[in-house]
Amino acid sequence: MGYKLLMISTPVGPLGSGLGGGVELTVTNLARILHQRGHRLTVVAPEKSTLAVDVELVTLPGQWQSTAQTAGRQTPVTQPEPSVLSAMWSYARQVQSAYDLIIHFSYDWLPFYLTPFFQIPIAHFVSMGSLSDSQDGIMAAVAQSHPGTLGVYTRTQAETFSAPEHYRHLGSAIDLSLYDYCPIPAHQLAWVGRISPEKALEDAIAAAEQSQVPLKIMGKLENPAYWQALQAQYPQAPVEYLGFFDTQSLQTVLGNCRALIMTPRWVEAFGNVAIEALACGVPVIAYKRGGPIEIVRHGETGWLVEPDSVAGLVRAIHAIDHIDRRTCRHQAEQDFSLPALGERFEQWFATMVPVRSSL
Ligand code: UDP
């Protein structure tokens, strides 16, 4: 017996493009484990999406939503025409009777607004902290009208919203079999993520320049003007942008680094790259802000550094040999395993769909 689940992916870009950031990996990993655990799944996503999991994938055309982190708090709700977001939710409305539950992954106003009009429950997985007044407002309304249906990655993320107790903490996980433990890395550091101002790559570049340890950068070039400005600002820094990689290539390069540097200027909701690094045995040096606080064990699997302190990053880089890489891999196995994530989501679903239907 399993659930019939309709997963609706982010409308900011196709799965596999990197535009969706960590939520793409979360959708993929969740689809993988829920499928393995015997649930029947359909994933709905923008056209050109790819999914490395053998479940039904429905892709729909339409323009992507712009990302909330690039807009101001007061920015009105907008939707392009034709909109992939509305296409995905029209599809969901038409097919809902074939499912027990919708799992929703976007950070958009429309799906929350539509919630009371659907006949089946919607589990809203919120993948970022508070960024917009209109989004906060509609999420608070759904938290009142449909209690228990909002989930987040971390407590720190939930605390950015006005009523954090309404959000269920679900964490994140990776398929550990896809990440190899690398005991002896090269003399280099990694920075991994969307190249966009909220990630403050400039601090990692400054730290690489000051410590003179080469920095390898991997990730979606989301904001090319920002990247060009960084190159102009630090012409001598020992940094190299390698490109956007799939998981297999990413983990090969990442594993061969002495540390992952995470420099979020915003409250990072989780930081999937942190657990990918740990899985390879790579310690994480992160600002003590947002999700990494709940991931990194300070002094054991990395260093939590005073936020926005490049000097702090440099000190942590010099202290990296105090961290045992085996402990990092061990933490990933212990705290971020995919079956445990699958169980947490199932427990959440059970509060919304009390009686399981047979497939
Ligand atoms: N990523 C990737 N290829 C790359 C660099 C990054 O697939 O070359 C993925 C990485 O696996 C992670 C995501 O990009 O899942 C970044 O997610 P994170 O949660 O760290 O930050 P977000 O983008 O959600 O703010």
- Does 359 reside within a domain? no
Say whether both 113 and 257 belong to one domain.
Answer: no
Cβ of 22 below 6 Å from ligand 1 = yes
Output the DSSP codes for 237-258. S-EEEEE---HHHHHHHHHTSS
Give distance in angstroms: CA of 18 to centre of ligand 1: 7
Say whether both 66 and 103 belong to one domain.
Answer: yes
With 70 as the cut, is the pLDDT of residue 29 above it?
Answer: yes
> Contact at 8 Å (CB) between 60 and 47?
yes
Looking at residue 113, what DSSP letter applies? H
pLDDT in tens, 244-281: 999 999 999 999 999 999 999 999 999 999 999 999 99
Cβ of 222 below 6 Å from ligand 1 = no
Cβ of 275 below 6 Å from ligand 1 = no
Nearest CA to ligand 1 atom 7: 246
Say whether both 140 and 238 belong to one domain.
Answer: no
pLDDT for 1 equals 72
Say whether both 16 and 159 belong to one domain.
Answer: yes
φ, ψ dihedrals at 74, nearest 5°: -95, 0
If one residue of 12, 15, 17, 24 were mutated to test the ligand 1 pocket, choosing by the most ligand atoms within 8 A of its CB, it would be: 24
pLDDT in tens, 297-317: 999 999 999 999 999 999 999
- With H, G, I as helix, E, B as strand and everything else as coil, classify residue 122: strand
Nearest-atom number in ligand 1 for the CA of 291 is: 19
pLDDT band at 70 (very low <50, low <70, confident <90, very high): confident
By residue range, what is the domain housing residue 347?
A: 4-173+337-352
Tokens encoding 159: 């605390």
> 285: closest CA among 316, 325, 326, 328?
316
Nearest CA to ligand 1 atom 21: 22
Residue 218 makes CB contacts below 8 A (sequence gap 6+) with 190, 191, 192, 241, 242, 243, 244, 245, 250, 253, 254
Cβ of 21 below 6 Å from ligand 1 = yes
CATH number, domain at 229? 3.40.50.2000
pLDDT in tens, 83-135: 999 999 999 999 999 999 999 999 999 999 999 999 999 999 999 999 999 99
In angstroms, the CA 196 to CA 212 distance is 24
pLDDT for 359 equals 52
pLDDT for 337 equals 96
If one residue of 15, 19, 25 were mutated to test the ligand 1 pocket, choosing by the most ligand atoms within 8 A of its CB, it would be: 25
Say whether both 108 and 183 belong to one domain.
Answer: no
Cβ of 25 below 6 Å from ligand 1 = yes
Say whether both 169 and 27 belong to one domain.
Answer: yes
- Does 358 reside within a domain? no
Structural domain count, the chain: 2
